[in-house]
Amino acid sequence: MRRQRLIVGLCGALYVLLAVVVYLSFLKHSKPNYSRDIKFKTKGNGLSVLLITVDALRADYLSANGYPQKITPTIDGLASAGFNFTQAVTPIPKTTQSLASLITGCYPYKTGVRNLWTALLRSAVTLTEVLKNIKYQTIAVVSNHNLIPDRDLARGFDRYDYESDKREAMGTTQAVLTHLERLNSARPFFLWVHYIDPHVPYYPPEAIIQELDPDYQGRYRNNFGDSKLKIGGWAYPTDIGKEGAVFRNKLGEKVNEHVRKLYAAEVRYTDLAIRALLTQVERRFNDKVIIILTADHGESLGEHDYYYEHGDYVYNAQLRVPLIFRLPRTHKLYSEGTVNDWVSLIDVLPTTLDLLEIEVRSEHLRQIDGVSLLPYWKGGRLEARPLFSESDDSFFPEFIKRRVRHDISGRFRAVIFDGWKLIWTPFQQPGMLYELYDLESDPEELRDLYGVESARAQALEKHLQRWMSLQSELAEQSPPTQKDLEILKSLGYIK
């Protein structure tokens, strides 16, 4: 009775706080409320899968891919012991949307996840669901404020351990190790781990930044951001705000170069956390686990005058991601290699199923856009094919160059094919509709050849127009609800 009287007497503020706590508890460990029956032709070799995704990790910040300082020895070890796909791209440079494409093998217009407030369509089949249907243990440990279970990426997981950006890399690893201790060693598992740390704000351990940039003593010496606990639009230093950090950066090259070192230090810290994870995985499950490492998107660090952010454009600083598959040495296809062909995150699902020797009846996966990369393990290669990407909606439209509309129909689109890339800007005057880049000779996309290589441009235009014709361009998704707007405002995405 005393407890009842106390609850009745709680003030409104405490009641709201309690509701928030309950809601967050639900988010942290919730399960989907429906399941799917999937039919198989073959049920595989029984190997487990560890999928590691790192937020905002650029492909060129791996030492294995050319970064001059040795900041990723653990990831480099995976790359040297497996297949390192150096030219992988995301279909959209935003976390939830990109990862929805990764686990379904579909472009965003098929997953339904094209902005921060929409959930995965029920028609989309996930890798998790496939493995769950053949008795895999399925666990996710994800650290990012946008990966709440409401977006339905939790579908098929026995355990979905969600935390916001407050859980740093070592904390994420520790949470994973706790779950590993509970696994049934007689059954295979699918474990997805998402690290947040290379995303702004940059708050690496002080010892690491001193190692990477020992002589710098100026502004933002040890961190770049208002607080390591602030996220979304609030992640940037209060003295300059997001506008002064991202869109109208006046920090000067010396300061910006140091901020890039802070980003590199976050990558280094994440690599250390991954080492701690892999040490335990290899100790307990040696030669029984396929390891996949990739990222949701890259990060623009000043390219095209766009700093410490992603999603507003489709330049390769934001699109290119690491993609590494390491097989256990007992796998009949075990081999090592570096692949410089262009591939996409939509290829992860079909490739993983092939490496597991799982064949799903065609009706379940007929929507997927990705293709299996298995030929590379067999000494072959894939023919060049067009790969597509789109930008996100913009929360800061007044700062986005060349962009007229800022909803789905107004997004930048890009196609990469045979080493060339075409970017489309909708609703622009004719002379500004397209940009064309030769990615082999101009990987930084600095020389627009659209007015020079007309035949090449026309061929790419046809690919891009054909892909866009598959989408209901003007059939916009539902607008954000009031709850969505409140969340976006709390994260600093809107005012």
Q: DSSP for 40-103, please give it.
A: EEEE----EEEEEEETT--GGGSGGGT-SS---HHHHHHHHTSEEEEEEE-SSSSHHHHHHHHH
Q: Is residue 412 part of a domain?
A: yes
On whether both 327 and 439 belong to a single domain, the answer is no
On whether both 269 and 366 belong to a single domain, the answer is yes
Per-residue model confidence (pLDDT) at position 23: 36
Report the C-alpha gap between 96 and 296 in whole angstroms: 8
Q: What is the rounded average pLDDT of the residues 223-230?
A: 83
- 22 versus 387: which is more confidently predicted? 387
On whether both 364 and 394 belong to a single domain, the answer is no
Judged by DSSP in three states, 479 sits in coil
Judge whether residue 476 has pLDDT over 60: no
Domain that holds residue 40: 26-387
Q: What is the rounded average pLDDT of the residues 87-98?
A: 98
Report the C-alpha gap between 176 and 314 in whole angstroms: 33
On whether both 293 and 439 belong to a single domain, the answer is no
How many C-beta atoms surround the C-beta of residue 206 within 10 A? Answer: 12
**Which stretch, 232-241, 256-265, 280-289, 469-478, has highest mean pLDDT?**
256-265
Report the C-alpha gap between 382 and 373 in whole angstroms: 7
The single-letter code of the amino acid at 411 is R
CA neighbor of 96 nearest in space, from 349, 264, 311, 406 = 311
On whether both 76 and 155 belong to a single domain, the answer is yes
**Range from 204-213, 376-385, 443-452, 480-489 carrying the lowest mean pLDDT:** 480-489
Q: Is residue 15 part of a domain?
A: no
On whether both 380 and 446 belong to a single domain, the answer is no
**Total domain count for the chain?**
2
- Alpha-helix residue ranges (DSSP H) falling in 81-205: 95-104, 108-111, 127-132, 169-181
Per-residue model confidence (pLDDT) at position 9: 37
| Tens-place pLDDT, residues 256-268 | 999 999 999 999 9
Per-residue model confidence (pLDDT) at position 399: 85
| Tens-place pLDDT, residues 50-60 | 999 999 999 99
What is the percent of the chain with per-residue pLDDT over 90, rounded to a whole number? 72
- pLDDT band at residue 179 using 50, 70 and 90 as cut-offs: very high
Q: Is residue 396 part of a domain?
A: yes
Judge whether residue 158 has pLDDT over 80: yes
On whether both 376 and 398 belong to a single domain, the answer is no
CA separation, residue 179 to residues 30, 187, 192, 281 (Å): 15, 14, 11, 11
Q: Is residue 184 part of a domain?
A: yes
Judge whether residue 18 has pLDDT over 80: no
- 399 versus 18: which is more confidently predicted? 399
Question: Which stretches does DSSP call E strand in 320-425?
Answer: 320-321, 323-326, 337-344, 358-360, 387-390, 413-417, 420-424
On whether both 318 and 288 belong to a single domain, the answer is yes
On whether both 448 and 335 belong to a single domain, the answer is no
Last residue of a domain, one of 387, 410, 437: 387
Q: Is residue 21 part of a domain?
A: no
How crowded is the C-beta side of 385, counted as CA atoms within 13 Å?
Answer: 16
Judge whether residue 10 has pLDDT over 80: no
Q: Phi and psi of 248, rounded to 5°?
A: -130, 55
Per-residue model confidence (pLDDT) at position 118: 86
3-state helix, strand, coil in the chain (%, to 5): 35, 20, 45
**Range from 42-46, 115-119, 298-302 carrying the lowest mean pLDDT:** 115-119
Per-residue model confidence (pLDDT) at position 164: 76
On whether both 256 and 342 belong to a single domain, the answer is yes
| Tens-place pLDDT, residues 100-112 | 999 999 999 999 9
| Tens-place pLDDT, residues 366-413 | 889 999 999 999 999 999 999 999 999 877 778 887 777 767 778 999
Judge whether residue 494 has pLDDT over 60: yes
Report the C-alpha gap between 38 and 461 in whole angstroms: 38
**Range from 13-17, 335-339, 411-415 carrying the lowest mean pLDDT:** 13-17
Judge whether residue 31 has pLDDT over 60: no
**Cβ–Cβ under 8 Å, residues 160 and 176:** no
